[in-house]
Amino acid sequence: MGHQKRNLVLLLFISLVLFMALIANATIAMRNRQGEPPLLTNPIPEPPEVFSVDPDPTTVPLPKSLTEAEALTLALELDLNTVSRVDSLSDEALAASATVTLYENHIEADKSLGLQTWYASEIEVDAGEVWVITFPGAVKMATGPGTQLGQDTRTYDGISYKFSSRTGQLLGVTTGPPVTAGE
């Protein structure tokens, strides 16, 4: 008896849910016939907003633009923790051998490094002018996921760091060509 009673209650519940669904569908159909917008519809999304060619920056700038000396200091700090130099150089000798150049934007900076790149306009605006600091000399560095400094046996001819003069953020690290292929 207990199972029959439970089955009957379940059948009544399912019938009630189906009846309510039918009424909702009938209401929607009637509204559509009367020219009123239906209640339960998925509105067609608006097309995405088209970004202007000259968007406003989306990052917070430094109080003042990064100077040449500050860019060189950032690159020296990063270089100390990123690469292993074949010929050890003091910070002073490394700084003296560095080439520090300010470019109008990412694309011009990348061209100077022999790269062909394109960036979205909002990324260009965020970066502003770009400092490229290049240190000559043979270097080894961790070159990808799962590698650590010292594991990669390839040696590269120099390394360059790119920083935004507007925000001070590191924008990229580029090595020179490999001088040894590794093991």
Q: What is the pTM of this model?
A: 0.63
The stretch 63-74 carries a mean pLDDT of 92
Tell me whether residue 136 is in a domain.
yes
- Percentage of residues in the chain having pLDDT higher than 70: 74
User: pLDDT tens for residues 33-46?
Assistant: 666 555 555 566 66
User: How confident is the model at residue 98, as a pLDDT?
Assistant: 94
**144 and 108, same structural domain?**
yes
Residues 39, 89 within the same domain: no
In a domain, 50, yes or no: no
Question: Has residue 105 been placed in a domain?
Answer: yes
Residues 28 and 116 in one domain: no
Are residues 89 and 14 located together in one domain of the fold? Answer: no
Backbone φ/ψ region at 84: left (φ over 0), alpha (ψ -120 to 50), beta: beta
Give yes or no: residues 98 and 137 share one domain.
yes
pLDDT greater at residue 73 or residue 58: 73
Work out the burial of residue 39: count CB atoms within 10 Å of its CB; fewer than 13 is exposed, 13-18 middle, 19 or more buried: exposed
Task: Tell me which DSSP letter residue 45 carries.
Answer: P
* Residues 1, 81 share a domain: no
Overall average pLDDT of the 78-83 stretch: 86
Do residues 76 and 34 both lie within one domain? no
Asked if residue 157 and residue 74 are part of one domain, the reply reads: yes
Amino acid at 155: T
Total structural domains within the chain:
2
Beta strand residue intervals within the chain, DSSP E: 83-85, 99-103, 130-141, 155-164, 170-175, 178-180
In a domain, 54, yes or no: no
Q: Which domain holds residue 35?
A: 1-45
90/15 same-domain check: no
Task: Please report whether residue 87 resides in a domain.
Answer: yes
pLDDT, tens digit (0-9, with 9 covering 90-100), for 128-176: 899 999 999 999 876 666 666 556 667 889 999 999 998 888 988 998 8
> pLDDT tens for residues 7-35?
777 777 888 788 787 777 777 666 666 66
Please report whether residue 59 resides in a domain: no
